[in-house]
Amino acid sequence: MAIHPIDFRYGTPEMKSIWTEDHRFVCIVRAEIALAHAQAVVGMIPTEDAEFIEKNAPAASHNRAKEIEAEISHDTMAIVRAISEVCGDAGRWIHYGATSNDILDTATGLQLKEAFDLIEGKLGNLLTVLLMRAGETRDLICIARTHGQHGIPTTYGLRFAIWASEVARHINRLRESRGRVVVGQMTGAVGTMAAMGEHGIEVQTEMMKYLGIGSVDVSSQVISRDRYAEYIFMLANIATTLDKIGIEIRSLQRTEIGEVEESFSKKQVGSSTMPHKRNPIKSEQVCGLARIIRGMVEPALLNNTLWDERDLTNSSAERITFPETSILCDHCLRLMTGIIEHLTINTAAVSRNVLYLHGINLSESIMIELTKRGMKRQDAHEIIRESSMEALISKTPLADLLGKKAEITKYISAEELTGLLKPENYIGLAGVQVDNLIRKLTPYIVQ
């Protein structure tokens, strides 16, 4: 019976498949084949033996490796023996000059390469949807909030664009970090390449070229875990962006705000006891799982603080941190993409909330105009502040109060006051910013 929710509740099949035991076994076999190939290229082993290994090693059985491990209690050596059994006399070259982590860390590099591809693809999908929604809602005026209170107006287009810009930065970070994270090594017992003799650097270079991943410059017995910590932190950063978007959707779906709503199917149940409920459960799931992903940052950092040339404290932790962060982040990206794509916007509620304070929240526009026309900025701020407080208490439209003040009408007529307090007249360059971002980020989107 499955215990971990990743097994039955969270994750996409494509990301889960990367971190299965069977696939890791395949990656380890590939690393051993690549080592033999590289050693043949530099003349360390016979070419025909390397070719025989390349042809026959994929037939090695993971189940057989597990049987051997049960006898010898060493997972890597068990795999080496299982591969050797299907490679005949050429099997004597399997793992020649290597230490366990040369193969294991290189296999991790292969898994990370695949994970990077999936995460970048999912980020691209999310960016595509965000830019689409930004364009659709370019001119949809809504109330902006700071400290949870109504501010001046903004647009939904700008809101979606801000999220899109953040996602695009994550794509850039992913691309920039790939070369640092997706690497392998072949440096031997403590990093000196002693077992390879004069061919060590050539073997490592040729091996990683064969596998299509980068090479470390130097290493101890293991690849330095700052590389992997960067990957985990990057996924935590992505998850935090998704968390931020989810929190905003949840807030805007509050009954008393009611501006947006997650899609809700015809037969979907919101509550076991309150039949009317339509809860933002997908956004809540993203926010909850983001906590787990962020929680993996500390163990990822501590995995780099190993004794001397290495110890084994990182190994057990990485069996959890790599699959959990990768699977959950990938899952949340897919989930949030669907949320945004199918998000319903209640334009009636949006309009209602923009006008909720009867123009008081647009007081800045009056202050700016008064300053333009000759009043000192600080004096204008104080007059408008006092009038705004009075309007809030008396629930009187701000334009009515200001129209009775001679110090105001000296500069601005009552008719102009009404125009300055219309939301559509004070959204600045929101639309232009959205247009500029869409043009800039179009090369990133999934066609």
**CA gap 334, 329 in Å, rounded:** 9
The pLDDT of residue 122:
97
The pLDDT of residue 446:
56
Is a pLDDT exceeding 60 seen at residue 255? yes
Is a pLDDT exceeding 70 seen at residue 447? no
Exposed e or buried b per residue across 291-326, where buried means at least 16 C-beta atoms within 10 angstroms of its C-beta? ebbbebbebbeebeebeeebeeebeeebeebbbbbb
Which member of 73, 147, 272, 276 is catalytic?
147
Residue 279: how many other CB atoms lie within 10 Å: 16
Antiparallel, parallel or unpaired: β 344-345 and 260-261: antiparallel
Compute the mean pLDDT over every residue in the chain, rounded to the nearest whole number.
Answer: 95
**CA gap 442, 243 in Å, rounded:** 24
The letter for the amino acid at 312 is L
Q: Where are the beta strands (DSSP E) in 70-164?
A: 141-146, 149-155
The angle formed by the CA atoms of residues 181, 185 and 187, to the nearest 5 degrees, is 145
Q: What is the pLDDT of residues 23-73, one digit of tens each?
A: 999 999 999 999 999 999 999 999 999 999 999 999 999 999 999 999 999
**CA gap 351, 333 in Å, rounded:** 30
Which member of 4, 17, 263, 271 is catalytic?
271
Instruction: Mark whether 147 is an active-site residue.
Output: yes
Burial class (CB in 10 A: 0-12, 13-18, 19+), 259: buried
Contact yes or no for 283/342 (Cβ under 8 A): no
Instruction: Mark whether 177 is an active-site residue.
Output: no
**CA gap 86, 64 in Å, rounded:** 11
C-beta pairs of 154-158 under 8 Å, 24+ apart in sequence: 154/427, 154/430, 155/427, 155/430, 155/431, 155/434, 156/345, 156/350, 157/430, 157/431, 157/434, 158/134, 158/430, 158/433, 158/434
**CA gap 136, 164 in Å, rounded:** 14
Q: What is the pLDDT of residues 153-200, one digit of tens each?
A: 999 999 999 999 999 999 999 999 999 999 999 999 999 999 999 999
**CA gap 135, 37 in Å, rounded:** 52
Contact yes or no for 258/346 (Cβ under 8 A): yes
Q: What is the pLDDT of residues 208-239, one digit of tens each?
A: 999 999 999 999 999 999 999 999 999 999 99
- Calculate Rg over the CA atoms of the chain: 30
Query: pTM, whole model, 2 decimals?
Result: 0.94
Task: Region of 151 please: left (phi>0), alpha (psi -120 to 50) or beta.
Answer: beta
